[in-house]
């Protein structure tokens, strides 16, 4: 009788704190032994020359999110999760959305049904587009108790954005319920002012998307949401920090002791606004919000990563095909930038690009790579230590990584249902060979082998990292209406 279901032998294990040579013994989907020369396994995997990494956690992914049309999200959970696993990711956090005037409970139920075909594990942030008193007081307490422990709010995008007053109500509710608020921070009215002026001036090409939202649009709003978080003593995560000034706002908030966490995305580390100016209408492939910025901003983000100001890197996978009636070109090849759907695909590319641009190029070390791609997100979203690390008792979610393999990124390698990758032609060093979710291969030697439906919903209970500090800027706690 073998001691283990599977032993991964002779690899180099990396966590967010350590790098060591060790076998990994797996039983019933869980890591049960670490050490050299482990006993017999029903199956053995020789990882000599490979890194054994915690499977990635991509905590910002728009998979199978419905839209009102005519454009559509290209992925189902079957295709999106295949793409994630091809890139070494074993858990995604997606978004269940409240329709304006509708119920978030209904949005969650519908998204749970879509996610049932996921090959990898998943959890949700709840997008609140209409935080009415009944939603805050009646629906959210139940949903948080069911394990949906984070909210996303948008301060821009027609149809999704909420006002500052509503954002404060959401933050107060999150504080009472022990949930984390994640924020898309851009100054909507400024974007609209710029946009009207650009359209009036006939400046409508994809590159003008970036002109409509210069950094001040983001950095002002990041400053504002940090102030709101400080006033209400509410922990927040600022999503998709795209460059120097907004990262500096996060750094300043952190220096004041606030629980403000900053996320950036792959695209802000390797793309720039110049990509929006590619020939023809190709720039449409790079339309996302915030817009990609400059090489100086990329350098600033790496510096903020090194300083620990930015602690997780996600894909913000938001796939819209380029071609077809539901694609980025749905309104024609000369459509104004306002009619190009926002968002880029990037599930499979995230970890390889981070490894290559970060680790291989000497910008970060291996534990930092692990933390950025898995461990920090696990901690921030209440999944640690079940997810995001290699430890006895953790789920056997692993990426067996060839650190020297050279790969040129192509759409075919992404494995999603999109028709292009913004990273086409990029050369990377380091590639996941095999990805295991709870001990079961989902990708084996670069091929998707995991069944749709293998993924499990991950409910998230209360956890101390997002507890409020109990510190207010004055003598009054405005959330509970009491003196402090
Ligand atoms: O352009 C982007 N980022 N689209 C996805 C939705 C969002 O704003 O996160
Ligand atoms: Zn966003
Ligand atoms: Zn997003």
pLDDT-derived band of residue 1, with 50, 70 and 90 as boundaries? confident
Q: How far is the CA of 449 from the centre of ligand 3 (A)?
A: 28
62 lines ligand 1 (CB under 6 A): yes
Instruction: Check whether 251 has a pLDDT greater than 90.
Output: yes
- Please state, in angstroms and as integers, the Cα–Cα distance from residue 248 to each residue in 113, 298, 300, 312, 457, following that order: 40, 13, 9, 16, 35
How does strand 150-154 pair with strand 180-184? parallel
d(Cα 135, Cα 150) in Å, to the nearest integer?
14
254 lines ligand 1 (CB under 6 A): no
Question: Which ligand approaches the C-alpha of residue 319 most closely?
Answer: 1
- Number of domains the chain contains: 1
pLDDT digits (tens, 9 = 90+) for 196-233: 999 999 999 999 999 999 999 999 999 999 999 999 99
Q: 45 lies in a domain? A: no
Q: 331 lies in a domain? A: yes
Q: 449 lies in a domain? A: no
289 lines ligand 1 (CB under 6 A): yes
Q: 382 lies in a domain? A: no
pLDDT digits (tens, 9 = 90+) for 282-335: 999 999 999 999 999 999 999 999 999 999 999 999 999 999 999 999 999 999
What was the pLDDT predicted at 455? 98
Q: 14 lies in a domain? A: no
What was the pLDDT predicted at 149? 98
pTM recorded for the entire structure: 0.98
What was the pLDDT predicted at 115? 98
Q: 132 lies in a domain? A: yes
280: domain range? 56-377+460-466
- N-terminal to C-terminal alpha carbon distance within the chain: 62
Q: 32 lies in a domain? A: no
pLDDT digits (tens, 9 = 90+) for 100-127: 999 999 999 999 999 999 999 999 999 9
Domain CATH number, residue 206: 3.20.20.140
- Ligand 1 pocket: which of 127, 212, 343 to mutate (most atoms within 8 A of CB): 343
Contact predicate 331/325, CB 8 Å: no
Q: 71 lies in a domain? A: yes
The protein residue with its alpha carbon nearest to ligand 1, atom 4, reads 343
């Amino acid at each position: 009788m073998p001691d283990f279901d599977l032993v991964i032998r002779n690899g180099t294990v990396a966590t967010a704190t350590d790098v060591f040579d060790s076998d990994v013994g797996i039983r019933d989907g869980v890591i049960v032994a670490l050490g050299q020369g482990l006993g017999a396994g029903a199956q053995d995997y020789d990882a000599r020359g490979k890194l054994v990494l915690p499977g990635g956690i991509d905590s910002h992914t728009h998979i199978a999110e419905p839209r009102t049309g005519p454009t559509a999200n290209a992925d189902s959970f079957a295709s999106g999760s295949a793409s994630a696993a091809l890139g070494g990711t074993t858990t995604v956090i997606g978004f269940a959305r409240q329709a304006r005037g509708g119920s978030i409970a209904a949005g969650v139920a519908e998204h749970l049904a879509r996610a049932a075909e996921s090959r990898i594990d998943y959890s949700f942030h709840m997008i609140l587009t209409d935080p009415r008193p009944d939603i805050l007081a009646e629906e959210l307490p139940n949903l948080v108790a069911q394990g949906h422990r984070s909210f996303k709010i948008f301060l821009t995008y027609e149809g999704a954005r909420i006002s500052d007053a509503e954002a404060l109500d959401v933050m107060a509710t999150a504080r009472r319920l022990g949930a984390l608020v994640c924020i898309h921070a851009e100054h909507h009215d400024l974007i609209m002012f710029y946009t009207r002026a650009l359209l009036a001036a006939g400046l409508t090409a994809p590159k003008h998307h970036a002109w409509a939202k210069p950094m001040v649009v983001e950095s002002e709003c990041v400053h504002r949401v940090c102030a709101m978080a400080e006033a209400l003593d509410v922990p927040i995560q600022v999503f998709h920090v795209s460059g120097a000034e907004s990262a500096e706002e996060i750094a300043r908030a952190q220096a004041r002791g606030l629980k403000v966490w900053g996320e950036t995305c792959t695209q802000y580390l390797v793309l720039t606004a110049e990509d929006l100016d590619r020939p023809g209408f190709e720039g449409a492939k790079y339309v996302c919000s915030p817009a990609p910025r400059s090489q100086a901003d990329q350098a600033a983000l790496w510096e903020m990563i090194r300083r620990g100001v930015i602690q997780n890197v996600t894909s913000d996978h938001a796939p819209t095909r380029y071609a077809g009636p539901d694609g980025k070109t749905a309104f024609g090849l000369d459509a104004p930038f306002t009619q190009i759907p926002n968002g880029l695909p990037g599930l499979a590319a995230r970890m390889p690009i981070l490894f290559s641009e970060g680790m291989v190029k000497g910008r970060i070390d291996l534990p930092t790579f692990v933390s950025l791609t898995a461990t920090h997100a696990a901690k921030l979203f209440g999944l640690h230590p079940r997810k995001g690390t290699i430890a006895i008792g953790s789920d056997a979610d692993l990426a067996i990584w060839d650190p020297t393999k050279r790969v040129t990124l192509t759409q075919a390698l992404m494995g999603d249902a999109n028709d292009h990758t913004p990273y086409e032609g990029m050369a990377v060093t380091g590639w996941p060979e095999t990805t295991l979710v709870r001990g079961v291969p989902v990708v084996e030697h670069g091929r998707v082998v995991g069944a749709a439906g293998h993924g499990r919903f991950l409910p998230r209970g209360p956890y101390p990292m997002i507890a409020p500090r109990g510190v207010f800027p004055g003598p009054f706690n405005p959330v509970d209406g009491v003196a402090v």
